[in-house]
């Protein structure tokens, strides 16, 4: 694995990056060890930034914004176009790095980088569509319009599970909007962040735009707390746990800044009696097991109509038995490792709680033995993908908690109204799905009055994972309410200004007020 990492870094032009060491892998102050979750061994050491380094990075991000905002938006789009082209060149190498560092299967790792390429393409078109409005004034010979202006330097805090794409969703849109970006990545995935940011800033610098994309790698107390309290960052976009989001939101609110929060998800999938069970089965398996259950959009709760529940569970157990667990770089492996030993402990704790609450383990439920893996003998953080069927009472309190692991809790229902109510009975509101052949059931799930799914993402005959960049991504309730990627999400990275022009030569006040002087 060490030679694999060295080869990837060489391909990406990072062999001489002073922040990365492949030789000295002992713990030390001012460094973080990057562990390969597939082997459980350290594979690199990355230098951490201190308070002084943060101050330099923040100052440069602000200075870069003052320069970058004066560049015409279509020209900014051309820079983003060049970045997208460069990411295409390095897509597979970056995808392998993602898989190596966080344990995501290789197709998922490459697909994640493709998301950043896609959002770059999206942003290029957007650079010519940052439209304002013109509206009639109530005053004669007056004009009114709204325009959107660059916001500032944007602080982006990302989680380990999407170490490339989530930054891309924010950075590509922010860039065409005229903002600079300072990125604080998870300490579980600093290598992907260094590689991604280096590639993008290398392109921007070559085109004459230094400092548009900055990176600061440090501990929360040293770097993170400074960033979220720093008024130089009018917007903090943070992806992570609900607990983290509450803290970030509170600190930013104290300084009257803006937050874009993408937090946890406890996503449910409903299978109606008339569903295409073959289609539903494949979607459930990928949704529950992909990324080893470590997506915010992972399928965690499954609601089956009572008439098909037993049959579907039997098919699901057989499908789980065929899933390959092991090296995410190996062909055919769907389920790689969990990201850390602590994540494995969280998995075991959740399974134990489910059992104590009357849940029946239908598949998995324990760590994976080395002999079961592909290839055998790996020493990383592997667990068996797990299915837990709720007791007849339907009460399984652990299912209300988001465990970042491949655990699927299965419930039954009698009516669609009951299923929707149970789906919505969660603190989070990110992703949801229904499988049905009935147009009436599908439209009931998407009820435009808001009485259907209460999530930010609602799918019919699709699983809960796999959002496209063309639609705004995000959720409600404890998920934080943020929206990234498509639609009008670009407005989060800009400020709106209402402009009124009097060309009458006389003072005319609004609301018919007259001034007699």
Residue 142 has pLDDT above 70, yes or no: yes
Residue 459 has pLDDT above 80, yes or no: yes
**Treating both helix axes as pointing N-terminal to C-terminal, what angle do 165-176 and 190-206 enclose, rounded to 10 degrees?**
30
pLDDT single digits (tens) 185-217: 999 999 999 999 999 999 999 999 999 999 999
Cα of first residue to Cα of last residue in the chain, in angstroms, is 83
pLDDT single digits (tens) 244-266: 999 999 999 999 999 999 999 99
Pairwise CA distance, residues 72 & 174, whole Å: 14
DSSP letter for each residue of 324-353: -BB-TTSTT--B---SSHHHHHHHHHHHHH
Angle at 28 between CA 27 and CA 29, to 5 degrees: 145
pLDDT, residue 319, reads 98
Band (pLDDT 50/70/90 cuts) for residue 489 is: very high
Give the helix ranges, DSSP H, for 207-340. Answer: 225-229, 242-254, 277-289, 309-321
Q: Average pLDDT in the 387-393 region? A: 97
Residues 6/22, Cβ–Cβ less than 8 Å = yes
Q: Average pLDDT in the 55-60 region? A: 98
Residue 313 annotated among the catalytic residues of the structure: no
Higher pLDDT, 1 or 107: 107
Pick from 227, 126, 33: nearest CA to 472? 126
Q: How far is CA 38 from CA 43, 143, 204, 286, 479, in A?
A: 11, 63, 34, 20, 29
Distance of CA 145 to the CA centre of its chain: 35
Q: Average pLDDT in the 413-420 region? A: 98
Residue 91 has pLDDT above 90, yes or no: yes
Band (pLDDT 50/70/90 cuts) for residue 24 is: confident
Residue 517 has pLDDT above 90, yes or no: no
Q: Average pLDDT in the 25-40 region? A: 94
pLDDT, residue 186, reads 98
Exposure string over 284-316, b if 16+ CB within 10 A, otherwise e: bbbbbbbbbbbbbbbbbbbbbbeebbeebbebb
Q: Return the SS3 of 149.
A: strand
315, two tokens: 């098919």
pLDDT, residue 222, reads 97
Residue 461 has pLDDT above 80, yes or no: yes
Give me the torsion for CA of 244, 249, 251, 257, rounded to 10°.
140
Percent with pLDDT over 70 in the chain: 100
Residue 45 has pLDDT above 80, yes or no: yes
Please state which of the ranges 13-27, 103-117, 379-393, 441-455 shows the lowest mean pLDDT: 13-27
Q: Average pLDDT in the 490-500 region? A: 98
Question: Would you kindly state where each structural domain of the chain is located, as residue ranges?
Answer: 49-263+480-496, 267-468
- The residue annotated as part of the active site, out of 296, 313, 335, 455, is 296
**246 CB burial (10 A radius; 0-12, 13-18, 19+):** middle
pLDDT single digits (tens) 221-246: 999 999 999 999 999 999 999 999 99
pLDDT, residue 3, reads 87
- Cα-only R_g, the chain: 25
Beta bridge partners of 135: 144
Within 13 A of 165's CA, how many CA atoms are on the CB side? 23
How many Cβ atoms sit within 10 Å of the Cβ of residue 158?
A: 26
Band (pLDDT 50/70/90 cuts) for residue 486 is: confident
Q: Helices then strands (H, E): number in the chain? A: 14, 22
Residue 177 annotated among the catalytic residues of the structure: no
511, two tokens: 């609301």
Residue 1 has pLDDT above 70, yes or no: no
pLDDT, residue 27, reads 87
pLDDT, residue 146, reads 98
pLDDT, residue 269, reads 98
Mean pLDDT for all residues in the chain: 97
Band (pLDDT 50/70/90 cuts) for residue 515 is: confident
- The residue annotated as part of the active site, out of 35, 112, 115, 262, is 262
Residue carrying structure tokens 């000295």: 24
- Pick one of 1.10.10.10, 3.40.605.10, 3.40.630.70, 3.40.50.850 as the CATH number of 49-263+480-496: 3.40.605.10
pLDDT, residue 217, reads 98
Q: Average pLDDT in the 303-321 region? A: 98
Q: Which residues contact 319 (CB under 8 A, 6 or more apart)?
A: 281, 285
Pairwise CA distance, residues 358 & 70, whole Å: 62
Pairwise CA distance, residues 263 & 242, whole Å: 5
Its CATH architecture, for the domain 267-468, is 3-Layer(aba) Sandwich (3.40)
């Amino acid at each position: 694995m060490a030679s694999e990492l060295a080869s990837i870094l060489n391909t990406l032009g990072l062999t001489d990056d002073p922040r990365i060491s492949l030789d000295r892998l002992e713990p030390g102050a001012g460094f973080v060890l990057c562990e390969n979750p597939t082997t459980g061994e350290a594979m690199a050491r990355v230098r951490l930034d201190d308070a002084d380094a943060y101050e330099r990075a923040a100052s440069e991000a602000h200075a870069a914004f003052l320069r970058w905002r004066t560049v015409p938006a279509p020209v900014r789009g051309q820079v983003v176009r060049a970045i997208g082209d460069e990411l295409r060149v390095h897509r597979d190498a970056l995808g392998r790095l993602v898989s190596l560092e966080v344990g995501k299967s290789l197709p998922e790792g490459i697909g994640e980088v493709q998301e950043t390429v896609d959002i770059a393409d999206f942003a290029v078109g957007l650079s010519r569509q940052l439209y304002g409005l013109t509206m009639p004034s109530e005053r004669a010979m007056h004009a009114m319009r709204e325009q959107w202006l660059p916001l500032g330097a944007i602080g982006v805090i990302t989680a380990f599970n999407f170490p490339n794409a989530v930054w891309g969703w924010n950075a590509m849109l922010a860039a065409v909007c005229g903002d600079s970006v300072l990125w604080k990545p998870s300490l579980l995935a600093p290598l992907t962040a260094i590689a991604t940011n280096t590639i993008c800033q290398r392109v921007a610098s070559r085109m004459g735009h230094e400092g548009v994309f900055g990176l600061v790698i440090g501990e929360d107390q040293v770097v993170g707390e400074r960033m979220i309290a720093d008024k130089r960052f009018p917007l903090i976009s943070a992806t992570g746990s609900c607990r983290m989001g509450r803290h970030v939101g509170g600190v930013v609110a104290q300084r009257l800044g803006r937050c874009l929060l993408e937090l946890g998800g406890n996503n449910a999938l409903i299978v109606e009696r008339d569903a295409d069970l073959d289609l539903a089965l494949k979607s459930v398996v990928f949704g529950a097991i992909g990324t080893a259950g470590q997506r915010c959009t992972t399928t965690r709760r499954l609601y089956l109509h009572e008439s098909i529940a037993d049959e579907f569970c039997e098919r699901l157990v057989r499908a789980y038995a065929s899933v390959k667990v092991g090296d995410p770089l190996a062909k055919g492996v769907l389920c790689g490792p969990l990201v850390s030993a602590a994540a494995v402990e969280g998995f075991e704790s959740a399974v134990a709680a489910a059992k104590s609450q009357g849940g029946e383990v239908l598949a998995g439920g324990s760590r994976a033995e080395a002999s079961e893996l592909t290839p055998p003998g790996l020493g990383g953080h592997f667990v068996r993908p797990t299915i837990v069927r709720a007791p007849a009472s339907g009460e399984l309190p652990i299912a209300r908690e988001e465990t970042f692991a491949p655990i699927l809790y299965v419930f039954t229902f009698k009516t669609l109204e009951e299923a929707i109510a149970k789906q919505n009975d969660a603190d989070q509101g990110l992703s949801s799905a229904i499988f049905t052949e009935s147009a009436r059931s599908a439209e009931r799930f998407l009820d435009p009055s808001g009485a259907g799914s209460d999530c930010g993402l609602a799918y019919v005959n699709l699983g809960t994972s796999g959002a496209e960049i063309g639609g705004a991504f995000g959720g409600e309730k404890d998920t934080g309410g943020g929206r990234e990627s498509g639609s009008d999400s670009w407005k989060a990275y800009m400020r709106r200004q209402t402009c009124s022009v009097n060309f009458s030569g006389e003072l005319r006040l609004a609301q018919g007020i007259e001034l007699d002087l």
